[in-house]
C-alpha cells in the first residue's frame, strides 16, 4: 500500500488531501436520481458528486463495463440491455450492495438508474435499514417523452471516462472553433475534447431501442416514484430545461 502511494505524484496526493478536508464538513446524503433515458441523470451526477462529496453509482455504467469485460454478470445482462429491457432485480441489487461498501461512499451516494422497480426499492430500503440509514431525497427528472429521442440519438460517449457529449446540446470544444464548427468537427471526427480519443455511440441509443426503454420506464420505474412520493421525499425537477437551469433546481432540492 505504502509503495503504491509513493508512486502517486505529489500534486495528485495534495489535490486528494484538499478534497477530503473540504468534504469532512459536508453532511452525509443518500440520493436517488430517477427519470427516463436521456433525462439528464448522467449529466447532473458528476456535479452533485463534486458539490456534496458523494460517490456516483450508476448501474447502467457498471453493467456496460461488465458486458465489455465479458464477465459472468455481463454475459447475463447483455441480451436484456441490447433490447432495452431491464436486467433481473437480483443482478442489480447484488452489484449495488457491493458498490455501496466502497470507501468513496462513506459520505453517502448518488444512485443513478437504481432502483428501477419497486422490488429493487424495497430491497434497497432493507439494505439501508440494516446499516441504520435511509434515503434522504429522490430527484425525479420529469420530462416529456417527445424530447428524448433527439437527446438519445445525438449522444456520443468517451468510453474510458464515461464523459458524454451531444452533437447539438453539448458538442466537444476545440480552441479557435465556434459552436457550429465544433458540431461539424464532432460529426466528422467524433473525438473527445479532453483526450483527443474517439467517441462512441451506445448500442441501445437508437430510436427503436429507445421505445422499449421508455416502455420499461413507464411500466416498471414510474411506480418507484409513487413508492417514494408516499414517503414524502421526492423533489420534482423540470428536466426539459437547459442543463445549467436543471443544476440550479438540483442544488435547491438538495440544500
Catalytic annotation, residues:
41, 116, 155, 202, 213
**Which among 127, 63, 122 has a CA at the least distance from the CA of 95?**
63
With cell 420505474, the residue in question is 221
Identity of the residue, 23 or 190, whose beta carbon is nearer to ligand AP5 in the bound complex: 190
Position 243 contacts ligand AP5 (CB under 6 A): yes
Give CA–CA dist 151/6, Å, rounded. Answer: 44
Cell of 40: 439528464
60 binds ligand AP5 (CB under 6 A): yes
Distance between CA atoms of residues 163 and 159, nearest Å:
7
Identity of the residue, 23 or 183, whose beta carbon is nearer to ligand AP5 in the bound complex: 183
109 belongs to the binding site for ligand AP5 (CB under 6 A): no
User: Is 158 one of the binding residues for ligand AP5 (CB under 6 A)?
Assistant: no
Alpha helices (runs of H) in the chain, residue ranges in sequence order: 2-6, 10-23, 41-52, 59-68, 72-83, 89-99, 118-131, 148-153, 179-189, 207-216, 222-229, 243-254
Residue with cell string 458528486 = 49
Question: For ligand AP5, what does the binding mask look like between residues 186 and 205, x meaning CB under 6 A?
Answer: --------------------
- 118 contacts ligand AP5 (rule: CB under 6 A): no
Q: According to the binding rule CB under 6 A, does residue 86 interact with ligand AP5?
A: yes
State which of residues 155, 158, 163, 182 lies at the interface with ligand AP5 (CB under 6 A): 155
For ligand AP5, the binding residue among 30, 31, 32, 38 (CB under 6 A) is: 38
Q: Which residue in 109, 140, 116, 145 sits closest to 33, CA to CA?
A: 140
Residues that bind ligand AP5 in the complex, under the rule CB under 6 A: 35, 37-43, 59-60, 63, 80-81, 84-87, 92, 113-114, 116, 120, 151, 155, 164, 166, 169-170, 213, 242-243, 246
Amino acid at each position: 500500500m505504502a509503495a503504491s502511494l509513493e508512486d502517486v505524484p505529489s500534486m495528485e496526493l495534495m489535490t486528494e488531501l484538499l478534497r477530503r478536508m473540504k468534504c469532512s464538513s459536508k453532511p452525509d446524503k443518500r440520493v436517488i436520481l430517477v427519470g427516463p433515458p436521456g433525462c439528464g441523470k448522467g449529466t447532473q451526477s458528476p456535479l452533485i458528486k463534486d458539490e456534496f462529496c458523494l460517490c456516483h453509482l450508476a448501474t447502467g455504467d457498471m453493467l456496460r463495463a461488465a458486458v465489455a469485460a465479458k464477465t459472468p454478470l455481463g454475459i447475463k445482462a447483455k441480451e436484456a440491455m441490447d433490447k432495452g429491457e431491464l436486467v433481473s432485480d437480483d443482478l442489480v441489487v447484488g452489484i449495488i450492495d457491493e458498490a455501496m461498501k466502497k470507501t468513496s461512499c462513506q459520505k453517502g451516494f448518488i444512485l443513478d438508474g437504481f432502483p428501477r422497480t419497486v422490488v429493487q426499492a424495497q430491497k434497497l430500503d432493507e439494505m439501508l435499514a440494516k446499516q441504520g440509514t435511509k434515503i434522504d431525497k429522490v430527484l425525479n427528472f420529469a420530462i416529456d417523452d417527445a424530447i428524448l429521442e433527439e437527446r438519445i440519438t445525438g449522444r456520443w460517449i468517451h468510453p474510458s471516462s464515461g464523459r458524454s457529449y451531444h452533437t447539438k446540446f453539448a458538442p466537444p470544444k476545440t480552441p479557435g472553433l465556434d459552436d457550429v464548427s465544433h458540431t461539424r468537427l464532432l460529426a466528422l471526427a467524433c473525438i473527445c475534447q479532453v483526450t483527443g480519443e474517439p467517441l462512441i455511440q451506445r448500442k441501445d441509443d437508437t430510436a427503436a431501442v429507445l421505445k422499449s426503454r421508455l416502455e420499461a420506464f413507464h411500466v416498471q420505474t414510474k411506480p418507484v416514484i409513487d413508492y417514494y412520493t408516499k414517503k414524502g421525499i421526492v423533489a420534482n425537477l423540470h428536466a426539459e430545461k437547459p442543463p445549467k437551469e436543471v443544476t440550479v433546481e438540483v442544488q435547491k432540492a438538495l440544500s
